Copies of this chain bind each other. A is one copy, B any other.
Amino acid sequence: MSETGWAIALHGGAGVMRRETMDAAREAEVRAGLAAALAAGREVLDAGGSSLDAVQATVCSLEDNPCFNAGHGSVMTSDGTFELEAAIMRGSDLAAGGVINVSHIRNPVSLARYILDHSEHVVFAGAGAERYAAGAGFELISSGYFETEMRRAQFNATRASGAVTLDHDGKRYGTVGAVARDRAGSLAAATSTGGLNNKAPGRVGDSGIIGGGTYANDKSCAVSATGRGEAFMRMTVARDIAAMIEYGGVALADAVERKVMTELPVINGRGGVIALTRTGAPVLQFNTPGMYRAAQCEGEAAQVAVFAL
């Protein structure tokens, strides 16, 4: 990793993913999706583009991929509807955009980006968010676009079991996210999700919350989280990791270790984070058996992984 080169990392959710039980075809599909999303961001960075553009490109790729719980392939609420969340943040000036509980926006992260660029506001929710989007030229799509056969089957299985707010396959915290550093040294982070399978309508998670699931500050680091959003919000995980660096002089790896492995488990905070230091060194950590993830630094090979190493 060069101190002046670009770097990027992404996640596609954390949870109970075990080498011994994962279908080989499914694993190959997921790995291809992670590699493609990494490539989307890498191309932006390698052409000299901004970290903000890169994380948006990577997250859009993951939103468009039905393997991941965001955009197309999102999980459903207990009503069988879709309520998506996303946020994006630029580390150079703390500019941010977030959307909460939108149901008709193809790429929620792109709406969050539009808000960052054009609105005096930072976060929009629900029907008002969609009205704002329509006024900005976004197409309001049928929410049927988000549905896939796999999610419908998971939803039906969850309902049949009487379980509520469990994630897909029982214990996966599906969310996607990316962090990047560009050659100019600016950091950015973005996160997007369909939330929890069979969640109560109206429930808000951490993905759209600045400082909860998403945070970037050129003084410290960029962070995107995935996991049970309630715990991540209560611990303001993304901001806290950066704050430990800024106020405590802690190294990023130590801050992530403390938050993810020590503090979050105390309040049942299952999940993980991806993060980049100011100089672009990736830290990817999770307290679940696996996390879909990938990372690359300029001049080095791409890394794609699913299980704990």
Beta-carbon contact of A201 and B127 below 8 Å: yes
Q: Report the separation of the CA atoms of residues A121 and B125 in the bound assembly, to the nearest whole angstrom.
A: 17
Beta-carbon contact of A129 and B202 below 8 Å: yes
Q: Which size class do A's interface residues fall under?
A: 35 or more
Q: Is A244 an interface residue (CB 8 A)?
A: yes
A78 to chain B, nearest CB (A): 10
Q: Is A122 an interface residue (CB 8 A)?
A: yes
Q: Report the separation of the CA atoms of residues A122 and B206 in the bound assembly, to the nearest whole angstrom.
A: 10
Q: Known contacts A230-B120, A247-B248; is A204 also within 8 Å of B236 by CB?
A: no
For this chain, the copies found in one complex come to: 2
Q: Known contacts A247-B244, A247-B248; is A203 also within 8 Å of B123 by CB?
A: yes
Contact for A121 among B98, B122, B203, B211, CB less than 8 A: B203
Q: Is A159 an interface residue (CB 8 A)?
A: no
Q: Is A128 an interface residue (CB 8 A)?
A: yes
Q: Report the separation of the CA atoms of residues A267 and B120 in the bound assembly, to the nearest whole angstrom.
A: 12
Q: Is A9 an interface residue (CB 8 A)?
A: no
Q: Report the separation of the CA atoms of residues A211 and B244 in the bound assembly, to the nearest whole angstrom.
A: 15
Beta-carbon contact of B122 and A230 below 8 Å: yes
A122 to chain B, nearest CB (A): 5
Contact for A243 among B121, B132, B234, B240, CB less than 8 A: B240
Q: Known contacts A94-B234, A100-B100; is A131 also within 8 Å of B202 by CB?
A: yes
* A100, A204, A240, A244 — most chain B CB neighbours (10 Å): A204
A250 to chain B, nearest CB (A): 7
* Contacts A/B (CB < 8 Å), 27 sampled: A93-B267, A94-B234, A96-B233, A98-B204, A100-B100, A100-B204, A101-B125, A101-B128, A120-B165, A124-B200, A124-B203, A125-B126, A127-B202, A128-B200, A128-B201, A129-B202, A131-B201, A209-B209, A209-B210, A210-B212, A210-B234, A211-B212, A236-B236, A239-B243, A240-B243, A243-B247, A244-B247
